[in-house]
Amino acid sequence: MEKRTTVILERGVYEALVKESMEEYKTTKAISKVLNEILKKSLKNRGKLTELLHSKKVATTTAREFEEFREGLSEVV
């Protein structure tokens, strides 16, 4: 079921949507389609991130251990 509403966009956001619409669909009339695609991906990814944050962790570490590990990686590169 489709719903219609008015959304007030910042100029830069609007311009990015127009550009994306032109690149993908060769028309500015597809802005709603582009916006829906972007929002669906964003909401799906947010759900995955929330799931990951709340899932059972399989390892533990301290901030100090993490920093030592990160420094070790930096030395390798």
17-37 pLDDT, tens digit per residue, is 999 999 999 999 999 999 999
pLDDT confidence bin for 57, thresholds 50/70/90: confident
pTM score of the predicted model: 0.59
pLDDT confidence bin for 48, thresholds 50/70/90: confident
- Tens digits of per-residue pLDDT, 60-76? 889 999 999 988 887 76
- Which pLDDT score, from 0 to 100, does residue 76 have? 65
Query: How far is it, in rounded angstroms, from Cα 52 to Cα 36?
Result: 24
Look over the chain and give the mean of its residue pLDDT values, rounded to a whole number: 90
Query: Could you tell me the CA-to-CA distances from 9 to 2, 16, 33 in Å, in that order?
Result: 20, 11, 15
Query: How far is it, in rounded angstroms, from Cα 5 to Cα 12?
Result: 20
